Structure 1
Amino acid sequence: MTDDTLTPRLRLSRPVAADLDEVFAIQSDPRVWTHYPSLRHTDPETTIRMMERWERSWSDAGLGSWVARLRDTGEVVGNGGCTLLGGAVWNIGYRIAGDHHGQGLATELAQAGVERARAIAPDRPVIAYLVEHNHASAHVAGKLGLDLVHRAPDAGNPDPGVVRLVYADRPLTPDQLAAALA
């Protein structure tokens, strides 16, 4: 497949409809949503809508989330990459299967996304949009060289005490920050 990207341990592929069951299995696993349990997928329709957003990013910007497979076995172990937000910023995101947490796969996947985003549109900022208590994602953002540029209450979160963080590879304009928070 021409959209495949290889990292040392992963084969990253543009999602196709046949990936739905494996992506849903990851998205519905409570272990991958400990930082934001209300976003856990409880039905495949939620996953289908998410995959449709990924496809729009692929179509509009030439990049979106990949399905991540182990190169040696082909096992689907996650999804992620950079998707376009508001036409203004690349949002790096990922979800790694619970059985594969703590192995550095999120960083490997995220780094590939950042590299591809910078190759496609180097003038577009790369951001990481996360909640403050998601320490693992904040750690990955730091490994990617992103700096904290925004910290505020997470509007719309069912838990009013949650704080939203935005990390970025450069200072953001007000319009870019608005796109990140939309």
Structure 2
Amino acid sequence: MQHVLTTDRLELRPAGAADLAALLAHWTDPDVRRFLFDGEVLTAGQVSEAIAAGERDFAASARGLWLIRERATGALAGTAGLRPLEDLGLEITYSLSPPFWGYGYATEAARAVVEHALGPVGLSEVLAEVDEGNAASIAVVERLGMTPFETVPGLLGPMIRYRRSAHG
């Protein structure tokens, strides 16, 4: 199965060991991690393990951690991925660097991952968990056709859980 996803403006390819420095810089940017990792600043070891976990996931099930690059420039815009959300199923994750905010890239990349998950990967649904105060991500998941199903406590405040099924 093809693990590289392309959209009109973006290419999503699995993260590999050679991407460690770029991914560490991206995920430790204070603006990027504001709603990620519950405010924790990841170490190089943690980012390396995330890459390795993504590689294992791709090998086993055609899902994992993608780097989002602009097709026109090759610039690293962010990340997207599918990871377990407790025992409920898989959730879509994404992050973008500030220079790429406001252009619809998060929605474009997340849509590619959700369609991949519900299509070729064969999931029956995809979940999302968004900080209640993250208006931009709430708008993204709503544009993806996801609907809220519960609010749960999070380390930094309430988290809203969304879902989209393969059948609507």
Task: Please indicate the TM-score interval, normalised by the length of the shorter structure.
Answer: 0.7 to 0.9
Unmatched 5+ stretches in structure 2: none
Contact 1:90 1:117 in 2 (8 A): no
Query: Number of residue pairs matched?
Result: 163
Q: 1:62 & 1:87 partners in 2: Cα distance?
A: 19
Q: What is the CA RMSD across the aligned residues, in angstroms?
A: 1.9
Q: 1:112 & 1:167 partners in 2: Cα distance?
A: 17
1:45 aligned partner, one-letter code: G
Residue 110 of structure 2 corresponds to: 110
Q: Does 1:48 align with 2:48?
A: yes
- Residue 50 of structure 1 and its aligned partner are, at CA, apart by 1.8
Say if 1:62 and 1:45 are closer, same or farther in 2 by CA, change over 3 A: same
TM-score by length of 2: 0.87
Residue 166 of structure 1 corresponds to: 161
Q: 1:5 & 1:22 partners in 2: Cα distance?
A: 20
Please state whether the residue corresponding to 1:133 is helix, strand or coil. Answer: coil
Unmatched 5+ stretches in structure 1: 171-182
- Residue 59 of structure 1 and its aligned partner are, at CA, apart by 2.5
Say if 1:13 and 1:121 are closer, same or farther in 2 by CA, change over 3 A: closer
Q: 1:105 & 1:40 partners in 2: Cα distance?
A: 24
Q: 1:63 & 1:87 partners in 2: Cα distance?
A: 17
Q: 1:153 & 1:85 partners in 2: Cα distance?
A: 14
Q: Does 1:144 align with 2:144?
A: yes
- Residue 123 of structure 1 and its aligned partner are, at CA, apart by 4.4
- Residue 85 of structure 1 and its aligned partner are, at CA, apart by 4.6
Q: Does 1:76 align with 2:76?
A: yes
Q: 1:96 & 1:60 partners in 2: Cα distance?
A: 26
- Residue 89 of structure 1 and its aligned partner are, at CA, apart by 1.9
Contact 1:28 1:40 in 2 (8 A): yes
Q: 1:85 & 1:132 partners in 2: Cα distance?
A: 17
Please state whether the residue corresponding to 1:169 is helix, strand or coil. Answer: strand
Identity %: 28
Please state whether the residue corresponding to 2:31 is helix, strand or coil. Answer: helix
